[in-house]
């Protein structure tokens, strides 16, 4: 790695580019028993700091891939929106409060959820509790009212269903060859694995994975979910139509 970083430093110099060392760091994902406590990385004779988490493209990635720090970050952002909606509940109708929800909160819950939505439920639970509070405020019901019927009446998806929606949309785009070529290669169709004429022959093959961490990845969970989606939903002509049909399907199950 240090040899590669030295080559990289030479390339920067040759192309008259500069690297901000103070904003450069590295992360080690410790999935082995190796003792790397003394691991050091250097570039252009400067030592790079090791970090346990880092913000990248609006997402906080941690070295255990637990997404705890990212969910804490989302929770803080959602708290601001929750305060705004709670402060407005006496002067705005529920339709306006719902608009505030989509303006201030929804993007934080939905952004990158295809990755962090696979983490353990107890890690996501604090964020789910916040979302439950918000829909109760919008509907103007008691703090302990059952939340699922409220989501259904507002036509809002709870976090677990937002996760399913993003997985399903990804698989729909894959089935229609709407993804970039590298992503199209993530899955192999069952027809390329075997020649049995089953109803799932055109579905992506669900790989066999050895670790629990791997089975929580969207590469494993997305094909599984796609298999459960009704054919009339899969047959949608456009992404927008598919999202509308599948959202109706998810709302009906609440």
pLDDT (tens digit per residue) in 103-147:
999 999 999 999 999 999 999 999 999 999 999 999 999 999 999
Question: Rounded to whole angstroms, what are the CA distances from 188 to 80, 96, 214?
Answer: 43, 45, 17
Do 78 and 130 lie in one domain? The reply is yes
How many independent structural domains does the chain possess? 3
- Domain end position, chosen among 156, 182, 209: 156
Instruction: Tell me which DSSP letter residue 229 carries.
Output: S
Average pLDDT of the residues of the chain: 89
Alpha carbon of residue 23 to chain centroid: 25
Mean pLDDT of 66-82: 96
Do 136 and 171 lie in one domain? The reply is no
Do 86 and 115 lie in one domain? The reply is yes
Q: Return phi, psi of residue 61, to 5°.
A: -100, 130
Domain membership of residue 59 (yes or no) is no
pTM confidence score: 0.86
Do 152 and 178 lie in one domain? The reply is no
- Domain end position, chosen among 135, 156, 177: 156
Q: How confident is the model at residue 154 (pLDDT cuts 50, 70, 90)?
A: very high
Instruction: Tell me which DSSP letter residue 105 carries.
Output: T
Q: How confident is the model at residue 163 (pLDDT cuts 50, 70, 90)?
A: very high
Find the range with the poorest average confidence among 6-20, 33-47, 169-183, 191-205.
191-205
Do 104 and 127 lie in one domain? The reply is yes
Do 148 and 85 lie in one domain? The reply is yes
Mean pLDDT of 186-190: 74
> Is a pLDDT exceeding 80 seen at residue 24?
yes
Most confident of 2-11, 32-41, 128-137, 187-196: 128-137
Q: Report which of residues 32 and 49 the model is more confident about.
A: 49
Strand-strand pairing, 25-26 and 46-50 = parallel
Do 75 and 47 lie in one domain? The reply is no
Question: Rounded to whole angstroms, what are the CA distances from 148 to 25, 109, 228, 237?
Answer: 43, 17, 21, 30
Structural domain that includes position 116: 66-156
State the pLDDT at residue 113. Answer: 96
Do 175 and 224 lie in one domain? The reply is yes
What residues have CB less than 8 Å from 131, skipping those under 6 apart? 78, 105, 109, 158, 159
Dihedral angle sign, alpha carbons of residues 10, 16, 22, 25 = negative
> Is a pLDDT exceeding 60 seen at residue 150?
yes
Do 140 and 171 lie in one domain? The reply is no
């Amino acid at each position: 790695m240090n040899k590669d970083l030295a080559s990289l430093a030479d390339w920067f110099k040759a192309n008259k580019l500069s690297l901000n060392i103070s904003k450069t760091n590295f992360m080690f994902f410790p999935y082995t028993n190796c003792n790397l406590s003394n691991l050091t990385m250097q570039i252009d004779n400067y030592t790079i700091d090791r970090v346990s988490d880092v913000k990248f493209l609006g997402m906080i990635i941690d070295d255990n891939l637990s997404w705890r720090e990212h969910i804490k970050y989302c929770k803080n952002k959602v708290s601001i929106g929750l305060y705004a909606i709670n402060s407005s509940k006496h002067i705005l109708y529920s339709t306006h409060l719902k608009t505030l929800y989509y303006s201030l909160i929804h993007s934080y819950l939905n952004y990158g959820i295809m990755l962090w939505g696979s983490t353990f439920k107890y890690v996501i639970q604090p964020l789910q509790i916040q979302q439950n509070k918000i829909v109760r405020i919008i509907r103007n019901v008691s703090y302990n009212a059952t939340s699922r019927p409220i989501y259904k009446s507002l036509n809002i998806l709870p976090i677990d269903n937002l996760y399913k929606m993003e997985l399903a949309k990804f698989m729909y785009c894959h089935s229609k060859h709407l993804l970039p070529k590298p992503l199209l290669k993530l899955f192999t169709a069952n027809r390329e694995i075997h020649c049995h004429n089953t109803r799932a022959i055109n579905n992506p093959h669900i790989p066999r994975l050895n670790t629990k961490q791997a089975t929580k990845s969207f590469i494993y969970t997305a094909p599984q979910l796609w298999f459960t989606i009704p054919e009339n939903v899969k047959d949608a002509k456009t992404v927008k139509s598919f999202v509308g049909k599948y959202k109706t399907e998810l709302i009906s199950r609440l």
